[in-house]
Amino acid sequence: MSDFIKKQARAEIFDLKPYTPGKPVEEVKRELGLEDIIKMASNENPLGPSPQAIEALRDSLNTIHFYPDSNCFYLKQRLITFLGIQDNQLMIGNGSDELLKLLVETFINRGDEVIFGSPSFSEYEFTATIMGAKCIAVPLIDFKHDLPAMADAITDKTKIIYLCNPNNPTGTAVSREEVDEFMTRVPDDVIVIFDEAYFEYNECSDFPNGLDYLQQGRNVIVSRTFSKIYGLAGLRIGYMVTTPDIVAAVERVTEPFNVNLLAQIAALAALDDNDHVEASQKMNSEGKAYLYTEFDKMGLKYVPTEANFIFVDTGQDCKEVFKKLMLKGVIIRTGDIFGYPTYIRVTVGNSSENQRFIKALQEILEA
Ligand SMILES: *Cc1c(COP(=O)(O)O)cnc(C)c1O
């Protein structure tokens, strides 16, 4: 780093740990000269995008010389009905990542505190740190959010609490009862962000829908995305539902045209493609069952998941397991970055991907 940057850049950027994204398939192909690679590292939908979304995209390619609708009118109308909310409660973003960043730009002053679980989604710490927040990371208990400890961590400086449910990278969910109890301990001027990126995958009977707390008049934000079950990660589109008050504030810092034209069109079509959503849920459910059975046979401990990925203990150095899997053309995520040096996080794939992953893992662990 040059003296010029050290002197001129904002001090906060030196507090950031660089994000290590899942390796893109093309990069691994190039580096290893491998042709046939499967990516089970970033929780993308193994079924691909909705066929209806693809068709809608084809039909609109000749309109991309226009700027997109900066208000996302049609998509918003559709989402409002879909979610049963008011039209001033919704914001669409260039992925939910953008919305997380806009939220801290709206609310965080240097020295404010934010609370999140550890390990959880890295974007919370990343975005809050840029704005100079003090990050309070509360360790999970049994791989699950420790809500009483998170409530204990609240001070008069607390601005935002992030609740990733189901949690990435562990796949665990906290129950409605636990969240009800937790919410009674959160003061009204603290914002709770329910990050429900994997909402559509959860199979719990007592899953707390963040929208219910919004309905109760609480200052909560519910964040969901088209990147996971809807299969549109490459287009970058997500949304959040919150109070009209918070929407109006966040809109002040939002760029016009933040959501691109193709993303709006694809999201609208994907939302209506129930068959695709159901097929994705079914594939995930079957994939989970298969992987659990195989992990059991291999004697590996894993965390039962409510999402589309599984956190599993390989009993060996995860970085070595990662390298060996990659040489066999399977990309996963290592647990060391989350503080679990023998764990890996694997996205539930389609059946041939799951089988290939298991076969590769068996060969590696038996060797
Ligand atoms: C994948 C993911 C998101 C989605 O991010 P996008 O920017 O919408 O692609 C948000 N939160 C969590 C916890 C995730 O794992």
Percentage of the chain exceeding pLDDT 70: 99
Point out which residues pair with 222 in neighbouring strands. 194, 241
What are the residue boundaries of the structural domains of the chain, listed by start? Answer: 20-48+275-366, 53-272
* pLDDT category of residue 20 using cuts at 50, 70 and 90: low
Q: How much distance in Å is there from the Cα of 94 to the middle of ligand 1?
A: 11
Distance from the CA of 97 to the center of ligand 1, in angstroms? 6
Q: In whole angstroms, give the CA distance from residue 2 to residue 185.
A: 47
- Strands 158-164 and 113-118 come out as parallel
Q: Rounded to whole angstroms, how far apart are CA atoms 270 and 264? A: 10
- Report the pLDDT value the prediction gives residue 30, as an integer from 0 to 100: 84
- 42, 45, 96, best to mutate for ligand 1 pocket (most atoms within 8 Å of CB): 96
Residue 29: pLDDT above 90? no
Alpha carbon 323 to its chain centroid, in Å, reads 24
**The predicted structure's pLDDT at residue 26:** 81
Tell whether ligand 1 has an atom less than 6 A from the beta carbon of residue 202: no
42 CA: nearest ligand 1 atom:
1
The rounded Å distance from CA 143 to ligand 1 centre is 19
Q: What is the pLDDT of residues 279-310, one digit of tens each?
A: 999 999 999 999 999 999 999 999 999 999 99
For ligand 1, atom 14, the nearest C-alpha belongs to 197
Residues 117-159 have pLDDT tens digits of 999 999 999 999 999 999 999 999 999 999 999 999 999 999 9
Pick the CATH number of 53-272 from 1.10.3210.10, 3.40.33.10, 3.40.640.10, 3.30.160.270: 3.40.640.10
Quick check: 85 pLDDT over 70?
yes
What element of type H or E holds 277? Answer: helix 274-298
- For the record, the structure tokens of 105 come out as 């730009």
Cα gap 319→304, rounded to integer Å = 22
Q: How confident is the model over 316-335, as a mean pLDDT?
A: 96
pLDDT single digits (tens) 171-200: 999 999 999 999 999 999 999 999 999 999
- What is the distance in angstroms between the CA of the first residue and the CA of the last residue of the chain? 43
What span, in angstroms and rounded, lies between the C-alpha atoms of 268 and 56?
9
Mean pLDDT of 34-51: 95
Superfamily of domain 20-48+275-366 in the CATH hierarchy: Aspartate Aminotransferase, domain 1 (3.90.1150.10)
Cβ(233) to ligand 1 under 6 A?
yes
Residue type, 305: T
**At residue 262, what are phi and psi to the nearest 5 degrees?**
-70, -40
Q: Atom 2 in ligand 1: which residue has the minimum CA distance?
A: 197
pTM of the predicted structure, to 2 decimals? 0.96
Could you tell me if the CB of 238 is within 6 A of ligand 1? yes
Token pair 């100079």 in the structure block, residue: 132
Ligand 1 pocket member 164 (CB < 6 A) = yes
Secondary structure, 3-state, 42-98: CCCCCCCCCHHHHHHHHHHHHHCCCCCCCCCHHHHHHHHHHHCCCHHHEEEECCHHH
Phi, psi for residue 347 in degrees, rounded to 5: -75, 135
Report the pLDDT averaged over residues 89-95.
98
Q: Separation of 228 CA from ligand 1 center, angstroms?
A: 8
The DSSP symbol for 231 reads -
Which residue, judged by its Cα, is nearest atom 11 of ligand 1? 197
- For 304: left if phi > 0, alpha if psi spans -120 to 50, otherwise beta; the answer is beta
Radius of gyration of the chain from Cα atoms?
A: 21
H-helix or E-strand containing 247? helix 244-253
Q: What is the pLDDT of residues 230-277, one digit of tens each?
A: 999 999 999 999 999 999 999 999 999 999 999 999 999 999 999 999
Place of tokens 């070595």: 320
